[in-house]
Amino acid sequence: MPHSSWLKAAGAAFAVALATATAAHAAPAPAPAPAPELTAATSVAAVVTLRYDDSRAGGWEAAIAAGVASWNRNVSNVRLVEAAPGTRAEIQIVATSGWPQATLGPVRPGGQVRVELGSQAVSQGYDKTRIAAHEMGHSLGLPDTKPGPCSQLMSGSAAGTSCTNAVPNATERSRVESAYAGGLASLVPADGRTLVDAP
């Protein structure tokens, strides 16, 4: 083998050996980066489930169901569900002969508030579904906004007997969403005051 060919072959063998040795002692490749954590903007909001018991609200069942459906359609991070018989409910709903009234929330899961659906308001011409939705609004932390227009659910009796609106407006929805934002950790205990909804 000519001297120049021998040098080329030896050089190539040395380069291969050097590359192999370098690779054997090289630092391992970095592990792939973990998936980025979900931020508040990208995560799905935690839904707080509140149970209600209307077993002592005879004659109001349809109005309660419609009021609950209105809240469930209009807020996304709190869900109202009927309590199974014999289980504890956060919202106790009873029918009374007086004016509607309710404990001011926001009620926490495991806590308890009371809603009284009074027939005195019905006898004076107020809409049962609006009354039920309004009183549930108190349980979710909304005070009265009297005086106020019919478009404000929490204006209650101030809107007059012709008002049948049972849908919370944008401000009311936002306040409930804010009260239950972040799931259970952010909830403060219910206010505890009883709000009577007489005119």
Active site residues: 135
- Terminal alpha carbon distance of the chain: 114
- Give the H/E segment covering residue 38: none
Residues 6+ apart with CB under 8 A from 172: 137, 142, 152, 153, 154
**Whole-angstrom distance, CA of residue 51 vs CA of residue 42:** 28
- 158 contacts 198 by C-beta, under 8 angstroms: no
**Whole-angstrom distance, CA of residue 129 vs CA of residue 60:** 9
Neighbour count for residue 86 (Cβ, 10 Å): 7
- 101 contacts 194 by C-beta, under 8 angstroms: yes
